[in-house]
Amino acid sequence: MAKSVKLKDLLPQSTFVQISGDENSLEREVFVADTNRPGFELAGFFKHSDFRRIILLGEKENAFIDEMTREAQLACFSKLVNDETPCIIVCKGYKCADILRNIAIKRNFPIFETNMPTGRVSIDLQSKLDEKLAPETLIHGVFLNIYGKGVIIRGDSGIGKSEIALELVKRGHQLIADDAVELYHVGQHIVGKAPAVLNNLLEIRGIGVIDVSKMFGIGSCLAKDNVDLIIQLDRWLPSREYTRIGVEEDDVTEEILNVPIPKIVVPVTGGRSMSVIIESALMNMQLKADGFDSSKEFVNRIMKNIKMKGE
């Protein structure tokens, strides 16, 4: 079933003044994260119109409407005001055309007026709709902000994800979600947050559920963040080959909602400080982004040493 958002949950009354339609008209749903400035429609061309988009009337549209005949306005507005169109917003302090308003009142169709510039209304609406209508999924893991990067820690149940998260929070990093992470495809990014019932909570076996914000301060938690890295914790197996130098294999990624996310597989065994290892992985990732690759530097040193001994 397609996601939607109701007008009453999208348009604040402090910014948008409703001039037609009653309370029931605000139950209309928006299914498309886009807006429409109807230049072609005002000129009478409706062949490829998508009526599911919110219509914005700005300076140019209102100037064109002023030049239209009464008959042209009746014909055009009768098509724009329909059951599919969520609403019409008249921007930049302009007043709604009388013919358009009369048609809307008869059909109980919502029209709003605002003093905001048309471009700003378009940007704000698309940003809200992108978030509210974004494709979503739920995964098992712990999500933290470490050195400014959103990191999901995954692994088998009982491997110690929550304990590692607790240690990282004690070291100054921020918890976003424990156990379950809600993920949304917003724009070019994957955004993660905790289900409402799990906000700020961390489950530690043997202790129970703790409220991280109460125990370590409100700054120890973050509401949401972009996902920048996945760290997969695997139980160490002597027979398996693990990355040692860092040039053994191509970069590994995992797709979430069709977006590739960098991924690192870290073996878990006794005696390893996983929080320090995870911090080091993030710092190394940042160094690579800044153009310094420790693995390649090591290989270059070996090659130079071999060359020097051969001379």
**Residues taking part in catalysis:** 140, 161, 179
Q: Is 203 annotated as a binding residue?
A: yes
Burial classification of residue 267, based on how many CB atoms lie within 10 Å of its CB (0-12 exposed, 13-18 middle, 19 or more buried):
middle
- Helix (H), strand (E) at residue 36: strand 35-36
Q: Is 21 annotated as a binding residue?
A: no
DSSP state of 96: P
Residue type at 111 in one-letter notation: I
Q: Is 155 annotated as a binding residue?
A: yes
Q: Is 208 annotated as a binding residue?
A: no
Sorted by sequence, the CB contacts under 8 Å of residue 207 that are 6+ apart come out as none
Give me 63's structure tokens: 């100037």
Burial classification of residue 61, based on how many CB atoms lie within 10 Å of its CB (0-12 exposed, 13-18 middle, 19 or more buried):
buried
- Helix (H), strand (E) at residue 137: strand 136-140
Of how many residues is the chain composed? 311
Closest-CA residue to 253 (of 283, 234, 230): 230
Q: Is 239 annotated as a binding residue?
A: no
Q: Is 119 annotated as a binding residue?
A: no
CB-facing half-sphere around the CA of 154: CA atoms within 13 A: 14
Sorted by sequence, the CB contacts under 8 Å of residue 301 that are 6+ apart come out as none
Q: Is 148 annotated as a binding residue?
A: no
Q: Is 217 annotated as a binding residue?
A: no
Q: Is 79 annotated as a binding residue?
A: no
Burial classification of residue 111, based on how many CB atoms lie within 10 Å of its CB (0-12 exposed, 13-18 middle, 19 or more buried):
buried
Binding residues for ATP: 155-162
Binding residues: 155-162, 203
Binding residues for Mg(2+): 162, 203
